[in-house]
Amino acid sequence: MLVSAAQMLKDAKAGKYAVGQFNINNLEWTKAILQTAQELNSPVILGVSEGAGKYMCGYKTIVGMVEGMIEELNITVPVALHLDHGSYEHALKTIEAGFSSVMFDGSHYDIEENIEKTKAVIELAHSKGISVEAEVGAIGGEEDGVIGGGEVADPAECKKIADLGVDMLAAGIGNIHGKYPENWAGLNFDVLAQIQELTGEMPLVLHGGTGIPDDMIKKAISLGVSKINVNTECQLVFAEATRKYVEAGKDLEGKGFDPRKLLAPGVEAIKAKVKEKIELFGSVNKA
């Protein structure tokens, strides 16, 4: 059964670890992430961007696939199915389709409009037991065509949004989606500490998990980050493993062209990456 992310993140905040949100792109991705979380006895959040939602034939298809897998693969760890960077319209669509968690990203609106729209999403989602993530201060870089300015959030604005009753709060602290540039200044821990100070118990979300050095991840968790999003890193290892398979000519040997064989190295690479992250985030045996 899908669960809201609220309780798993409260537990994470109290226990000083983080739950990974791994974005899904297809059946192989979903299966690899669910099996790894189960093997490590860790809660997990499956992230779906609007673009990935469209690619996978819509939100109802995704709910059917994930619920089916949870049952057929005997997944017993807590799993939240979460809309990533949703517009108001898509937050409503995913709530309707049966997602258990949504992110409403109003960071590109002015703060008053962000507050109004976030409030409306909270009201509807909470009436159905669905958790809500809000965002203050756009996350930099590009994800699925959504380009963020890379702002550092204003802690006072974070407090305003947190007070609306969201279940988790994403705040820009110099993090970027995709690969980090050579000259990246790193995470702004001073701002993170101020946000944590003002928002107290609120689980904070770190987007752009790909490529953030391990020591920065650990420090962010110690300063209140309870959910970390990873997407690009799984895509990179999947592509690399698939390329190696093809370049070695394995698709031309026997039935190596069978998609179950062709995609297997990529799936194993995703599993290894997700395992590495779950261990780093400290959520092993926290299911």
In the complex, which residues of this chain contact ligand 13P (CB under 6 A)? 23, 47, 84-85, 143, 177-178, 207-210, 229-233
CA angle 151, 93, 80 (to 5 degrees): 70
Q: Which is nearer to ligand 13P, 81 or 230 (CB)?
A: 230
Cβ 107 to ligand 13P shortest distance, Å = 12
Residue 187: partners with Cβ closer than 8 Å, 6 or more residues away: 173, 174, 175, 206, 212, 216, 219, 220
Q: Which of 11, 84, 105, 167 is catalytic?
A: 84
Amino acid (one-letter) located at 197: E
CB of 68 to ligand 13P, least distance (A): 24
- CA gyration radius, the chain: 18
141 three-state secondary structure? strand
The β-bridge partners of 228 are 20, 206
Nearer to ligand 13P, 143 or 157 (CB): 143
Angle at 100 between CA 2 and CA 155, to 5 degrees: 130
Q: Which is nearer to ligand 13P, 179 or 250 (CB)?
A: 179
Closest approach of ligand 13P to the CB of residue 238, in Å? 13
CB closer to ligand 13P, 50 vs 245 = 50
Rounded to the nearest whole angstrom, what is the least distance from the CB of residue 74 to ligand 13P in the complex? Answer: 28
Q: Is residue 84 among the annotated active site residues?
A: yes
Query: Any idea which residues carry the catalytic annotation?
Result: 84
